[in-house]
């Protein structure tokens, strides 16, 4: 190479190359939000200035709300208000909306969409006043985003919306321990818990509800992905004594044993038929006895021992289920145990009497299974769905949230995730958080982007994965809720753990720092 070329390279090409790198760095720096720079960022948008569809502006306060220029009343199916929101950085934001029920009506629930995708719901108060409600930790792109309030129930007024940057709660979410609450926990349970904590925040366990590996649900998932999920979600329902007397025969334990022998993780819930007082009429048959509407059983009276028969039947039912769990215990099979789920919703009898009797029942079940029956293979998942129902970290090892997004909505459900993170922080604890039931499968890329890394997701059964033929479920996969392309993408992503990806949990290392 001659001297002229060398001089050209060092005097022209190298400086241009360095300058280009500097420009690229500066541009990227502009896109990236400096740490804590705008933590107090917020901006307000008024509904009267938004895009309005099938709603009207009330320039005069004719309903005595104490303000004017609000919009409503969302009486048509297409009624909507769309705000164009401009944010300086791509980040997680809280969406705060001021709404009221139309005059003289009770509370109303309506949809909120971001850039065309439903991300949550807002609920008005019942006393005909404007009040703010929020949906937190929603990812917005840098620049303009469309935020739409769309009719579900309808019959609301909207005054304004404002955006504020979310707190950086994700830095606390992964500060969890592998310690189990049972001092006599089996090594198999310790190993599974240690594995969950080790992957938490980095990977998520795939899960599916079904009646065993030969169920239509598992056949359908395997037929389109060539893989099985890591977790099988099973139900103790048909072992409930008030179902057995009508002829049910549970097979879930056999299905759990088969799944464990294949290397999978076993997860159980219990749709517990009330121990007595089933209504059992045409509207509420015996097999729906886990619903509040299908029984007159009063948990509060049973737990206060005003109804001693009811209290003793609760113990009897727990003992019956304990015998089934013992079959797994003697085979050294750890169980993710999620009893008394969705309690705060009130639609199941164990939540119908409020938080106090529910908490008493949880403690009764924990102590009965752990200390009376010696079941040391259980990892306890609390799924009460409301911080007011949280009974203390000494009774809980994992926390679950159930959320059924609209069909083909693959949002990370970050609002739900960080709702749990926030109240656990308030309560002075932190636990791994899982999406313990869902419809559509959330997108792993969105979960990573939003820092909402559930330790697991578990898709419900029947219509959420199966097609019907003449009213009967088949083993053919249905794309109604989750498209095949999306499910395949998830099952092939290394951040999503399937059965093939699980280590040998019987040999998973328990190092010297276990439990700290």
Give the residue numbers annotated as catalytic, written as ranges.
342, 437
Determine the 3-state secondary structure of 53 from DSSP.
strand
A 10 A CB-CB count for 222 gives 18
Distance CA 412, CA 119 (A): 9
Distance CA 421, CA 170 (A): 8
User: What is the Cα 191 distance to its own chain's centre?
Assistant: 24
Are 485 and 477 within 8 A, CB to CB? Answer: no
In which residue are the tokens 């620049």 written? 143
Determine the 3-state secondary structure of 191 from DSSP.
helix
Distance CA 107, CA 214 (A): 45
Nearest to 124 by CA among 105, 139, 142: 105
- The DSSP output letter for 76 is S
- The DSSP output letter for 229 is B
Are 91 and 166 within 8 A, CB to CB? Answer: yes
Are 254 and 214 within 8 A, CB to CB? Answer: no
Q: Is 342 left (phi over 0), alpha (psi -120 to 50) or beta?
A: left
CA distances from 181 to 193, 370, 435 (A): 11, 10, 21
- The DSSP output letter for 232 is E
Instruction: Give the DSSP H or E segment for 328.
Output: helix 308-329
Q: Which neighbouring-strand residues pair with 158?
A: 71, 99
């Amino acid at each position: 190479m001659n001297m002229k070329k060398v001089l050209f390279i060092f005097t022209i090409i190298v400086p241009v190359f360095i300058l280009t790198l500097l420009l690229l760095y500066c541009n990227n720096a502009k896109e990236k939000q400096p740490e804590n720079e705008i933590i107090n960022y917020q901006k307000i948008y008024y509904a009267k200035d938004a895009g309005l569809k099938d709603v009207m502006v009330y320039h005069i306060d004719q309903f005595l709300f104490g303000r004017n220029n609000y919009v409503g009343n969302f009486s048509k199916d297409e009624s909507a208000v769309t705000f164009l929101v401009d944010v300086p950085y791509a980040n997680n934001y809280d969406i705060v909306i001021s709404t009221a029920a139309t005059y003289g009506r009770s509370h109303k629930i309506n949809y909120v969409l971001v850039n065309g995708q439903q991300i949550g719901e807002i609920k008005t108060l019942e006393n005909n006043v404007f009040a703010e409600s929020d949906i937190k930790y929603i990812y917005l792109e840098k620049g303009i985003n469309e935020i739409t309030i769309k009719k579900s129930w309808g019959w609301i007024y909207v005054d304004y919306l404002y955006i504020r940057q979310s707190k950086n709660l994700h830095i606390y979410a992964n500060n969890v321990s592998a310690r189990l609450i049972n001092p006599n926990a089996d090594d198999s349970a310790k190993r599974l818990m240690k594995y969950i904590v080790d992957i938490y925040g980095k990977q998520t366990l795939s899960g599916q509800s079904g009646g065993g590996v030969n169920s239509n649900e598992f056949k359908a998932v395997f037929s389109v992905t060539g893989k099985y999920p890591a977790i099988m979600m099973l139900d103790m329902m048909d072992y409930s004594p008030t179902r057995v007397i009508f002829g049910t025969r549970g097979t879930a334990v056999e299905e759990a044993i088969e799944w464990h022998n294949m290397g999978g993780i076993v997860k159980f819930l219990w749709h517990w038929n009330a121990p007595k007082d089933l209504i059992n009429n045409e509207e509420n048959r015996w097999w729906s006895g886990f619903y509040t509407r299908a029984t007159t059983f009063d948990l509060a009276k049973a737990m206060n021992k005003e109804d001693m028969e009811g209290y003793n039947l609760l113990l009897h039912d727990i003992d019956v289920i304990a015998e089934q769990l013992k079959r797994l215990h003697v085979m050294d099979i750890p169980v993710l145990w999620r009893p008394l789920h969705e309690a705060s919703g009130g639609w199941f009898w164990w939540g119908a009497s409020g938080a106090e009797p529910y908490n008493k029942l949880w403690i009764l079940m924990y102590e009965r299974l752990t200390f009376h029956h010696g079941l040391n293979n259980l990892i306890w998942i609390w799924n009460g769905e409301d911080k007011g129902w949280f009974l203390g970290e000494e009774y809980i090892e994992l926390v679950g949230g159930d959320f059924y997004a609209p069909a083909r909505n693959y949002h990370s459900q970050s609002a739900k995730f960080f709702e749990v993170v926030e109240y656990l922080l308030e309560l002075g604890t932190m636990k791994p958080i899982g999406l313990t039931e869902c419809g559509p499968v959330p997108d792993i890329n969105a979960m990573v982007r939003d820092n909402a890394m559930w330790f697991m997701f578990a898709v419900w059964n029947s219509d959420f994965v199966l097609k019907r033929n003449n009213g009967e479920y088949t083993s053919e996969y249905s794309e109604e809720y989750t498209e095949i392309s999306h499910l395949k993408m998830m099952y092939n992503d290394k951040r999503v753990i399937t059965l093939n990806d699980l280590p040998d949990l019987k040999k998973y290392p328990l190092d010297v720092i276990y439990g700290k």
